[in-house]
Chains A and B, each alone.
Chain A
Amino acid sequence: MSRIGVFVCHCGSNIAATVDVPAVVEAARQLPHVVFAEDNKYTCSDPGQQAIKDAIATHDLDRIVIASCSPRMHELTFRKMLKDTELNPYMLEIANIREQCSWVHKDKAAGTAKAIELLKMATAKADRDAPLFTTTIPVTKRALVIGGGIAGMQAALDIADAGYQVTIVEKEPSLGGKMVMLDKTFPTMDCSACICTPKMSEVGAHPNITVKSLSEVEQVTGYVGNFEVTLREKAKYIDYELCTGCGACETKCPAKVTSAFEQGLAQRRAVYRPFAQAVPPKPTIDPTNCRKITQGKCGLCEKLCPTGAIHYDDVDRVTRETYGAIVLAIGYQLIDWAAFYGEYGAGHYPDVITGLHFERLVNASGPTEGHILRPSDAREPKSVAIIKCVGSRDVAKGRSYCSRACCMYGAKHAHQYLDKVPDGRCFVFYMDVRTPGKGYDEFYMNTRRDGATYLRGRVSKIYEENGKLICLGEDTLLGEPVRVEVDLVVLETAMVPAPDAERLGSMLGVTRDKDLWLTEAHPKLRPVETNSAGVFLAGACQGPKDIPDSVAQASASAAKVCILFARDELESNAMIAVSDSALCNGCGACVAICPYQALTLEEVSLRENSQWSTRMISKVNPGLCQGCGACAVACRPGALDLRGFTDEQIVREVEALCQW
């Protein structure tokens, strides 16, 4: 038999004005299991709290019900108060008779009647309250950053500078991501490599940062503070301990392959660094193209290597480490425009290129040494059309969103072209010009002053005629069809989620939005956290971003990681799901429902009906469970329940409302 104490608050006149508090107290005394009831002027005040503590001791109460303001207001206050008593902090229910009663009902009789009914419900629930306990989880103060682009590097540097160990996992042979491919950055036109490569070197040299290039996250288990991560570091065929990065191996390699870094505009060797300033500053062998590895013949690089660092029999290394927090900085990719835009030639015209191609063409260290030359005939184009929103803001192509950065880099490309080809003509096709950023609109206006012709409207068709590309479209400001003949077309294509987003998102329990970007925990107030505690987002993996925004978000996620690491232990949620092994039939319906991957099926041996049996049952991970209760509804066998909001408590509340 429980011994319930009821405390009804006047809240000055906030409650007492429209609820007859003495009548509520009197009604409370008649309720089952209630052994004590009294009213207080202000229950949350120190004297009010002291009165509750005294009553608990005097009347040997084992649970209390407070009829007062919303539990959203003072539930934590009263739980904290109970920590000073013999009662478990969860032996508490609150009847909300202020926000949801006295403040909204002017009629005192109706208000009093409702207050009594709310009190009945709370008392019935309290009768089935059970002591709940939190557990503490130790925090491993080491962070994993997935992705070595500008966002990942910035997050890693900030966390490392705060004194914590960081591992960066990068799937490419070098850090740098998309930023290091760019020529100049808007609106200041400083050289991208000049600001990105020092960051790369800083990361590479930082004593607290371990860089794992050509590596992937294979599996993640565990929870905040204790993620067990399996990393696969692909074979590089070069021992980085011995390699000095002299580059001798790269000079004679006979196998030549199209360079992905140069967007297919140049070739690289099978033993290669993707670009000169790569970090780690050491080459790797591409096993699909190396003649020694594929055919067993050659071995030139091994002969040339002065330190004997080359090992053709190298294998992938799989390691397993514990991390306390994970930052996802996996960036974006550009939309495969050719698959969507048959009207632009679907990739068959060599002189229809993307913005990233253009970056390499205009880059002094690129394949043309900074001369803008058409891919088809290596001639300088005398006219260029730049088409924005290719794939963005086009529901017909499946993407309704704005890619945010294209207006600015479209303007940048126009500016760069007119700078290098002063007698050239440049047409920019646009839907809107969006330039919200420091110095952005000024940059765009300058580009127009440079002589770029902005035409408002989409291009409906591109075709080739006499070595020229014809763009057909409409100038919607004049309401006239437009036909432009150009030598080169640059498509400013949409950003879309990175190919790994789906795999990593589901592995880490991070949901994805309608466009499949990784989603933050709250679009406004928790923009870098995710629904998985201890997993944070940085950069364009959360949605299209430019460099300043990516860097800002990276630093924000680093701060969140440092906040987590500032504590030695985390307290787990007490109100979590609990699984009854006797009822669980191992169907696994809960596993698919849980957004936190807190539920797993595990094989257990149980003694049931006087005999041992081995079967699968669901288990709740208390570090991961956030207490939503969706699994308990999905569990038809009734094995899962939610502590603090059990089926029994809710049914008793309904009964109390209807039948007491």
Chain B
Amino acid sequence: MVNQIASEQDSIAMDTAVGETPLPETPFEPRIVAFACHWCTYSGADLAGLNRMNYPANVKLLRVPCSGRVNPQYVLTALNKGCDGVLVCGCHPGDCHYATGNYFAKRRLMAFKRLLEFSGLQPERFQVRWISGSEAGKFRDTVIQVCEEIRALGPLEGDSWGVDKGGTGDGSCVPVFDEAKTGTHEPSPCPQPSPPSPLSTPQNALRERARELLQSGEVSLVIGWGATRFENRTTPLFVTQAEEAEQLLFNEYCTNTLAKYAVREKELTSGRIALATRGCESRAVNRMLADRQLQRSDLVLLGLPCSGMRDDATGAVLTKCATCTHRNPVVFDEMLGEPAPEEEVDRFEELRGLEALDIRQRLAWFDAAWMRCIRCYACREVCPVCTCRECFVDQERVGWQGKQANRAENRFYNLTRVFHIGDRCIECGECERACPMGLPLMALNRKFVSDLDTLFASGEAGLSDEADNALGRYDLADTEEFM
């Protein structure tokens, strides 16, 4: 497999090289950075020196106190800045100087490595090893092996991850990315004009309860949906007066997941907030409770059953609703209407299709997506688990995120976003719905979610208000993929 990818890689390198520049005279020497834990691997490397072992000069050690200090973002930064490969080394599980650092590192790096490979990075380019202070030989062998593997792959152009500069790959890698399929699920006849909606009863109940709650002063704000001047299109509605409760809508076009508004409104509102709560809102609320962004006592959750929402233009069921596993709220104070029947859905179907692709096809597919991203950050703004006060992209002191609108920076943003929210993602699909460029954001999220579930049995997020996200804990029995 390694050889196959390498030879394909070579042929691409040849194609571009012949057409543009003459072959370089000096052979390619990969530049590799190794994040090494001070207590084990760094001292193992010192021991290799003491024993006068020989190994290639390509690998430079960057000393960190612990492999738990290695932020997966460093890996992406190194690849983007011009390293051809990254190695992360730490103490063997159980030997961590800080007791538990490498267990957390293992989970983070394992999940992130899978994500990078999914988005098209050859697995050899990012490797993780446990090397103790006495394993000088293992250190030398690792350096030699990693060097050889990456030398065989050729240079990783920071911008294109080795495919080429600027294009979307060679002719055989036509992106399978289909814009029409990202926004909605199966196109179906648009139900216009709306037939008497089966949701009308919950709508009446919602209006009724909103009015009562506002009148009695139990809440000072109700968050629901209201009409717009466009037919079938709704918008979040913030009701503060009992007489305005009549404006609340609940039909099959209530596409916005409302929960995140509660966080912002909580800062502006003194009283409690009543929230129209479907399955997606309820899971978002649970997650925000776990992340301490809300308190349960701030909220009155008006539970609503949901049969899936539709695109206002085409009438098709939204993709995010077609893969919904919780049509009824998992937490609520009162349920307005009969629970909707839950449906068995395969939420990882699209993901498996992508996983089955060749790594170069996936690279081309994602590269096409990165090229389209305009970094408007709509995905971040709607995400109920994006609750940072200042996003990493705006933290200029560290300089995580460059300002250029190129593929490397867009990739950095999109993959880091997944790392930041992936272990808490409630799969509401709002990011993908909000994306004006139709990027396949849920494919990335679901990859992370699915891997965490496979590796650490993390299950679905937001089913309770406990902060049990997979990267915030570890298990001594965790599997290991990189030894």
Contacts and interface: CB of A to CB of B under 8 A. Distances in A.
The answer to whether A and B interact is yes
Contact of A650 (B74, B82, B293, B390): B74
A58 to B, nearest CB: 30
A536 to B, nearest CB: 15
A588 B292 contact: yes
Contacts of A632: 69, 71
B55 A104 contact: yes
B83 A584 contact: no
Contacts of A628: 65-66, 68-69, 97-98, 101
Contact of B293 (A587, A630, A642): A587
A70 interface: yes
Given A72-B46, A99-B49, A113 B57 contact: yes
A593 B107 CA distance: 12
B483 interface: no
A593 B472 contact: yes
B399 A651 contact: yes
Interface string B270-294: 0000000000000000000001110
A92 to B, nearest CB: 13
B371 interface: no
Given A531-B99, A628-B101, A658-B82, A99 B50 contact: yes
Contacts of B204: none
A148 B11 CA distance: 74
Contacts of B66: 628-630
A102 to B, nearest CB: 8
Contacts of A212: none
Interface residues of B, number: 64
A583 B60 contact: no
B395 interface: yes
A633 interface: yes
Interface residues of A, number: 64
Contacts of A595: 98-101
A590 to B, nearest CB: 9
A655 interface: yes
B389 A645 contact: no
B33 interface: yes
Interface string B59-101: 0111111101111101001100111000000000000011111
Contact of B49 (A98, A113, A575, A586): A98
A647 interface: yes
A114 B60 contact: yes
B457 to A, nearest CB: 18
Contact of A659 (B65, B82, B387): B82
Contacts, number: 182
A507 to B, nearest CB: 15
A98 B52 CA distance: 10
A104 B33 contact: no
B98 A531 contact: yes
Given A111-B57, A658-B82, A648 B467 contact: no
B471 A634 contact: yes
A117 interface: yes
A604 to B, nearest CB: 14
Interface string B325-344: 00000000000000000000
A107 B57 CA distance: 9
A638 B57 contact: no
B35 to A, nearest CB: 8
A285 B370 CA distance: 75
A118 interface: yes
Given A589-B467, A633-B69, A648-B399, A100 B45 contact: yes
A195 interface: no
A585 interface: yes
A563 to B, nearest CB: 20
Contacts of B105: 630
A570 interface: no
B471 A104 contact: no
A176 to B, nearest CB: 33
Contacts of B253: none
A110 B55 CA distance: 11
Given A100-B49, A585-B387, A592-B473, A642 B69 contact: yes
A511 B72 CA distance: 26
Contacts of B140: 104
Nearest to A641: B398
Contacts of B38: 72
A619 to B, nearest CB: 15
Given A595-B98, A630-B66, A645-B69, A104 B53 contact: yes
Given A103-B52, A114-B60, A589-B467, A637 B399 contact: no
Contact of A592 (B99, B398, B472): B472
Contacts of B81: 654-655, 658-659
Contact of A654 (B52, B74, B98, B293): B74
Nearest to B94: A513
Contacts of A645: 64-65, 69
A256 interface: no
Contact of A104 (B43, B54, B77, B267): B54
B31 interface: yes
A70 B293 CA distance: 45
Contacts of A647: 71, 398, 400
Contact of A583 (B65, B98, B390, B476): B390
A106 interface: yes
Contacts of B292: 586-588, 601, 616
A71 interface: yes
Contacts of A627: 65
B281 to A, nearest CB: 20
Interface of A: 70-73, 96, 98-101, 103-107, 110-111, 113-114, 117-118, 121, 511, 514, 519, 531, 575, 582-589, 592-593, 595, 601, 613, 616, 626-630, 632-634, 636-638, 642, 645-648, 650-651, 653-655, 657-659
6 contacts: A103-B50, A630-B98, A632-B71, A647-B398, A657-B60, A658-B83
The 3 closest A-B pairs by CB, nearest first: A99-B49, A629-B69, A658-B82
Given A71-B63, A638-B395, A658-B82, 17 more contacts: A98-B49, A104-B49, A111-B57, A114-B57, A514-B476, A585-B389, A589-B469, A592-B473, A595-B98, A616-B292, A628-B65, A633-B70, A633-B108, A636-B388, A642-B65, A646-B398, A650-B64
Interface of B: 31, 33, 38, 42-43, 45-46, 48-50, 52-55, 57, 60-66, 68-72, 74, 77-78, 81-83, 97-101, 104-105, 108, 140, 267, 291-293, 387-390, 392, 395, 397-400, 420-421, 467, 469, 471-473, 476
